[in-house]
Amino acid sequence: MTFTDYQIQATQTQQTYNSEDKTNFFLGYLGLAGEAGSVLTTLKKLLRDGEGFGTFKDRLSEELGDVLWYVSSIASHYNINLEDIAQLNLMKTQDRFLETSLESIPRFDESYPEKFPDEFVVIFKEDFGPNDLLTVSMEWQTGEGELQPLGDPLTDNSRFPNNYRYHDVFHLGHVAFLGWSPVIRDLMKLKRKSDIETLDGEDRGRPQVAEEAVTLFVYNYARGNKMLKESDRLDTELLNTVKQLVYDLEVSKVTAFQWETAIVQSYKVYHLILENRGGKVLVSPKNRKLEYLG
């Protein structure tokens, strides 16, 4: 039986009610909540009686069937197909939880002459700048071994010290794990000027603002969660917001699970840099690796 077959037959058993202050579809919502409670009651009996609850699977199947009936009833009221609901749910859960390798993400700049190096080293240095504010500067090591400045020295840009001056490591994490970073692409002078549509849609101001927004949004979340020192999972709502911020950019192909991996791993390197007040970081979009070298 398909979901469509079930929905058609379930609709034939819908009841009408005499109450004038409740429409039929509204009672479907109440029924769904009631049956969800019955599922929990079945679990309570299992916890109480253990193996003595010999009909557990039969009762659970019955209660879950009632939940499905009310879901079908509500969907039918709005002419929503259960098949579509099931498909959308699979797409959402696979995007969030299916363990997908970072190597499956395409190199977004593979076919352009302005391509991120397959591997490069960035050096973070902390020092006191003007007005005795702590600053962090970056240099990157070219293929010829030369060191070139990478952007301007950064302060925390905050009334209270918060180490945000090291946040460029998160942009480097985007390069390493996702093969994407409009911010670093700009700093390394690798905007894809060879293709005007790509340049305008992926490498200019708005995509850079989107990436900075992702970085700050995640950072503020991290501040309330021990800076992710003890985390290997992130809230789904956070990841959904991240995906909304990059909705129509090339990196929108990246799944929520892959974003989670990139963020968590980037924060591991961030903490090593912070503990040592600087150091060398290997950035490898080819091997999807961000590594603290010391």
Q: pLDDT for 79-105, tens place per residue?
A: 999 999 999 999 999 999 999 999 999
Residue with structure tokens 């794990």? Answer: 177
| Domain coverage including residue 84 | 3-97
CATH number of domain containing 21: 1.10.287.1080
For the entire predicted model, the pTM comes to 0.90
Provide the percentage of residues in the chain whose pLDDT is more than 90. Answer: 86
Same domain, yes or no: 114 and 86:
no
- Residue 135 near residue 127, CB atoms below 8 Å: yes
79/145 same-domain check: no
- Sheet of 278-284: strands edge to edge? 147-149, 134-141, 120-128, 278-284, 289-292
Residues 80 and 53 occupy one common structural domain: yes
For the cut 60, the answer to whether the pLDDT of residue 20 exceeds it is no
Domain count, the chain: 2
Residue 64 or 25, more confident? 64
Of 53, 80, 97, the domain-final residue: 97
Angle at 227 between CA 225 and CA 229, to 5 degrees: 100
Out of 97, 113, 144, a domain closes at 97
d(CA 29, CA 247): 32
139 and 261, same domain (yes or no): yes
The model's confidence at residue 172, banded by pLDDT at 50, 70 and 90, is very high
Average pLDDT of the residues in 165-175: 98
